[in-house]
Amino acid sequence: MFLKGCPLRCLWCSNPESQQHVPQLGFIASRCVGVGGQCGGACLSVCPVSALHLGVEDKPIIDWQVCDACGLCAQACPEGALEVVGRDMSVDEVIAEVEKDRPFYRRSGGGVTLGGGEPLLQHHFTSALLEAAHDVYLHTALETSGFAAWEHFEPVLKHVDLLQIDLKHLDPIRHREVTGQSNELILENLRRVLSVKAPQDVIVRFPVIPGCNDSVEEIRDMTEFVMGLGFTQIELIPYHKMGVSKYAQYGMAYPLLNCESPSETDMARLREVVPILVG
């Protein structure tokens, strides 16, 4: 489950549709046949706030400042070129959705994983959802940036079987440059996590982003910090470009142009300085 809303703006974010807390309209231009097609430009005529206009190649362009994601144009489009991402759901509705896949979890040993966005931004909901998952004997995992007040984070943790928490940089200034926020809150939370979780139930994840945090020295410093706190599992997540095409769909510009995934040789060099590697 991906929860919308995130206080960070990591340059390499692969879920840009999860950054805003509210539902958003997305436009998949490759599916659009243009207003001269069989659809007859149905999307243009239904918008109650005139947020759609005719653009190049007879395809609509969206005024993102005006659109309130009502979804009428998405319902009118026969090609699936417009879609609203994000919707309000209750805990019961999410659990009912999750229950549909229970036979799959039984075979795979999986369960509920909450990611985002930042699930701790909705900490009351996240806590209630994970507790409800436990009530029906589902395994729970939480993927978090760790950027949350401890009094919001700590109550959630008792409903989490596996915690996956990121560390992106040790230097607060560099951290702010590449994520939009300082790391002080995250480091403070990392110092506290093992007071309530066992090390085998926590994986600290380092996204490896060329030009941002991928030197041997940076990864070694982060590893030493994490091991010094008593953590026993680190995962290195190499940069990938899978989210790039989504930016245009939501009227956003991708910030990390010209960045390439680290090579296998680069990753091997970094793995050597992480003695507690998992994954």
From 66-74, 104-112, 161-169, 239-247, give the range in contact with ligand SF4 by CB under 6 A. 66-74
Q: How far is the CB of 239 from ligand SF4 (least distance, A)?
A: 32
Q: How, if at all, do strands 52-54 and 60-62 pair?
A: antiparallel
35 binds ligand SF4 (CB under 6 A): yes
Q: Which is nearer to ligand SF4, 39 or 277 (CB)?
A: 39
From 29-37, 184-192, 205-213, 262-270, give the range in contact with ligand SF4 by CB under 6 A. 29-37
From candidates 52, 114, 120, 222, binder to ligand SF4 by CB under 6 A: 52
Q: How far apart are CA 120 and CA 185, in angstroms?
A: 13
Q: How far is the CB of 224 from ligand SF4 (least distance, A)?
A: 49
Backbone angles phi, psi at 82, to 5 degrees: -120, 135
54 binds ligand SF4 (CB under 6 A): no
Could you tell me if 34 and 58 are in contact, meaning their C-beta atoms sit under 8 angstroms apart? yes
132 binds ligand SF4 (CB under 6 A): no
Question: Which residues, 6+ apart, have CB-to-CB distance to 27 below 8 Å?
Answer: 60, 62, 81, 82, 249, 251
62 binds ligand SF4 (CB under 6 A): yes
Element (H, E) at 151: helix 150-157
From 46-54, 128-136, 150-158, 237-245, give the range in contact with ligand SF4 by CB under 6 A. 46-54
The C-alpha angle 179, 180, 181, rounded to 5 degrees, equals 95
Residue 241 tokens, joined = 């470009």
Question: Which residues, 6+ apart, have CB-to-CB distance to 245 below 8 Å?
Answer: none
From 4-12, 77-85, 87-95, 268-276, give the range in contact with ligand SF4 by CB under 6 A. 77-85
Q: How far apart are CA 19 and CA 165, in angstroms?
A: 18
Q: How far apart are CA 171 and CA 35, in angstroms?
A: 51
41 binds ligand SF4 (CB under 6 A): yes
From candidates 3, 10, 82, 209, binder to ligand SF4 by CB under 6 A: 82
71 binds ligand SF4 (CB under 6 A): yes
Q: How far is the CB of 88 from ligand SF4 (least distance, A)?
A: 16
Q: How far apart are CA 189 and CA 7, in angstroms?
A: 16
Q: How far is the CB of 69 from ligand SF4 (least distance, A)?
A: 5
Distance of CA 94 to the CA centre of its chain: 18
Q: Which residues bind ligand SF4 (CB under 6 A)?
A: 25, 32-35, 37, 39, 41-43, 46-47, 49, 51-52, 59-60, 62, 67-73, 77, 79, 81-82
